[in-house]
Chains A and B, each alone.
Chain A
Amino acid sequence: MALQATTSLKRTPLYELHREAGAKFVDFGGWEMPVQYGSIIEEHKAVRTSVGLFDVSHMGEIEIRGPRALEVVQRLTTNDASKLEVYQVQYSTLCYPHGGIVDDLTVYRLGPEHFLLCVNAANIDKDFSWIVEQARGDADITNTSAQIAQLALQGRHAQATLQPLCDLALDGVRYYWSAKGRVKGIEALISRTGYTGEDGFEIYCPASQGSELWRALMEAGAPYHIKAIGLGARDTLRLEMGYALYGNDITAETTPLQAGLGWIVKLNKGDFIGREALAKERGEGIKRRLVGLEMIDRGVARAHYHILVDGQVVGEVTSGTVSPSLNKSIGLGYVRTESAKVGTPLQVDIRGKPAQAQVASMPFYPSQVRKA
């Protein structure tokens, strides 16, 4: 058995709370993050059946302000930010001119001339440089990541947990909308968003008050047996939904079209970085696709394992685990488009042995997000 250790890395303002709670830590994109507090499977099930709280303060926040802020966001992102009303939120990607993905992100419109981009932790510096460079001085760009703590409260009892602490009527905050309010007196931006497929909220507050917010939510969630959730369960939860993880399933070498994110690529919105390459790819036909995989034989598909059709390598697994909700081995991976149809038989090369698998429809687990 080869076991790994953790080295010292960047930490969120809630680090000491995690340590006190007995978390096991892991290096995640340069951050020392709790991977689990107890059992990953129990944490996963707590979110699916009740409510869980995640420290996602490692995520980055980049703000864009000014009379030309919208124009800059439109130039940088693939989705159509002009459709955003104030306090509306949008999932999007930043692309390179060749169509590869710089990062995936959520775009918050906080004012007519003010946007907040929530980006992946490992990409903060890269994204900030990219955005500043591409903005060409047309807007004020600030990296406010270090000043902001972010908690994700996810699960069917998320609203019941948060509401008593909060001066907003949360029923009025719809899916992919946000609002400013106070949570136990702490000024916060609250959005009905998440990375789990459950109803829930992502809550941004000043970094210095992150721990206070965490304690208040853990206390308020006690009647629902709220659990602290680490990155281990965050990964199994998102994978059951087929949500892509930057660095695994989407990278500079993959395009949003290949990744099944065509719904956030608005080729008709006007010019944006990557538009030409993506229009060409769509026109010529997308050669490979990110698909859901489910194992038929025993075995667990893991990132970088080869995917075979009739003994020929047709792609690679990008994420894989055993689904705690479904108790079966699931994954994501790229295959040639001709092998991308649901039900297509494939093999995954597990340590030299081809194991039977098939292309599965996604999400693997039905989404419970509150769309209405």
Chain B
Amino acid sequence: MEFPAGLRYTKEHEWIRVEGDQAYVGITDYAQQELGDVVYVELPEAGGAVRYMEPFGVVESVKAVSDLFSPVTGSVKQVNEELFNRPELVNSDPYGQGWMLVVEVGDASQLDTLMTAEQYAAYLRQTKEG
């Protein structure tokens, strides 16, 4: 399983990659593996708002429906509409073509509350052992 350095991670298994004052958001390799085949993604519309650790959308596998939580508060600049036709990109390329949102980060200090790749890997080990 892969957790790229430079990204920040939530306990709910989302990642965020900051590029200037914008950031890409998606779900982690661990999340997509746990979910299995992703068959549906529901995302907010561009122009909408997302809030720190509140649900912004839904990802569905064959079996299950799971909420998506936003790593930061901000406004939605872009959504990955390609996922509406090809939700499987979340499985095949979770940190690349499987991205979900581009948000304008409202409060950069929230990023500091998120885990680094190392911390996230340790968190997963801990959760599994627990």
Interface of A toward B, CB cutoff 8 Å: 1-4, 24, 35-36, 39-41, 232, 235-236, 298-300, 302, 321-322, 324, 329, 351
Interface of B toward A, CB cutoff 8 Å: 12-14, 27, 31, 34-37, 39-40, 42, 58-69, 84
Q: Known contacts A1-B68, A299-B42; is A40 also within 8 Å of B37 by CB?
A: yes
Complex CA distance for A154 and B34, rounded to whole angstroms: 27
Residues of B within 8 A of A321 (CB): 39, 62-63
- Contact yes or no, A40 B67, CB < 8 A: no
* New A-B pairs, 5, CB < 8 Å, besides A3-B35, A41-B37: A1-B31, A1-B67, A35-B63, A232-B63, A322-B40
- Contact yes or no, B12 A322, CB < 8 A: no
Q: Which residue of B lies closest to A295 (CB)?
A: B40
CB < 8 Å neighbour of A1 from B36, B63, B69, B84: B69
Q: Which residue of B lies closest to A351 (CB)?
A: B58
Q: Which residue of A lies closest to B32 (CB)?
A: A1
CB < 8 Å neighbour of B36 from A232, A235, A300, A302: A232
- Contact yes or no, B63 A40, CB < 8 A: yes
Q: Known contacts A1-B13, A299-B42, A351-B58; is A39 also within 8 Å of B31 by CB?
A: no
Residues of A within 8 A of B13 (CB): 1, 3
CB < 8 Å neighbour of B62 from A2, A3, A236: A236
Most chain-B CB neighbours within 10 Å: which of A1, A4, A329?
A: A1
Residues of A within 8 A of B40 (CB): 298-300, 322, 329
Q: Which residue of A lies closest to B37 (CB)?
A: A41
* Interface of B (DSSP majority class): strand
CB distance from B37 to the nearest CB of A (A): 5
Q: List 23 A-B contacts (CB under 8 A).
A: A1-B13, A1-B14, A1-B66, A1-B67, A1-B68, A1-B69, A2-B12, A2-B66, A2-B67, A24-B36, A36-B36, A40-B36, A40-B61, A40-B63, A41-B37, A232-B62, A232-B63, A235-B63, A299-B40, A300-B40, A302-B65, A321-B39, A321-B62
Complex CA distance for A1 and B69, rounded to whole angstroms: 7
Q: Which residue of B lies closest to A302 (CB)?
A: B65
Complex CA distance for A235 and B12, rounded to whole angstroms: 27
Q: Which residue of A lies closest to B40 (CB)?
A: A300
CB distance from B45 to the nearest CB of A (A): 13
Residues of B within 8 A of A4 (CB): 64
Complex CA distance for A299 and B59, rounded to whole angstroms: 10
Which 7 A/B pairs are nearest by Cβ-Cβ distance? A322-B39, A40-B62, A1-B13, A41-B37, A1-B66, A1-B12, A3-B34
Complex CA distance for A299 and B84, rounded to whole angstroms: 10
Residues of A within 8 A of B12 (CB): 1-2
Residues of A within 8 A of B68 (CB): 1
Complex CA distance for A36 and B14, rounded to whole angstroms: 24
Q: Which residue of A lies closest to B31 (CB)?
A: A1
Residues of B within 8 A of A298 (CB): 40, 42, 84
CB distance from A333 to the nearest CB of B (A): 16
Complex CA distance for A63 and B58, rounded to whole angstroms: 47
Residues of A within 8 A of B66 (CB): 1-3
Most chain-A CB neighbours within 10 Å: which of B37, B62, B66?
A: B62
Q: Which residue of A lies closest to B14 (CB)?
A: A1
Q: Which residue of A lies closest to B41 (CB)?
A: A298
Complex CA distance for A122 and B122, rounded to whole angstroms: 38
Complex CA distance for A268 and B62, rounded to whole angstroms: 42
Complex CA distance for A258 and B60, rounded to whole angstroms: 30
Complex CA distance for A197 and B68, rounded to whole angstroms: 35
Complex CA distance for A39 and B37, rounded to whole angstroms: 6
Q: Which residue of B lies closest to A39 (CB)?
A: B37
Complex CA distance for A331 and B12, rounded to whole angstroms: 29
Complex CA distance for A165 and B37, rounded to whole angstroms: 34
Complex CA distance for A24 and B27, rounded to whole angstroms: 20
Q: Which residue of A lies closest to B66 (CB)?
A: A1
Complex CA distance for A40 and B64, rounded to whole angstroms: 12
- Contact yes or no, A322 B62, CB < 8 A: yes
Residues of A within 8 A of B36 (CB): 24, 36, 39-40, 232
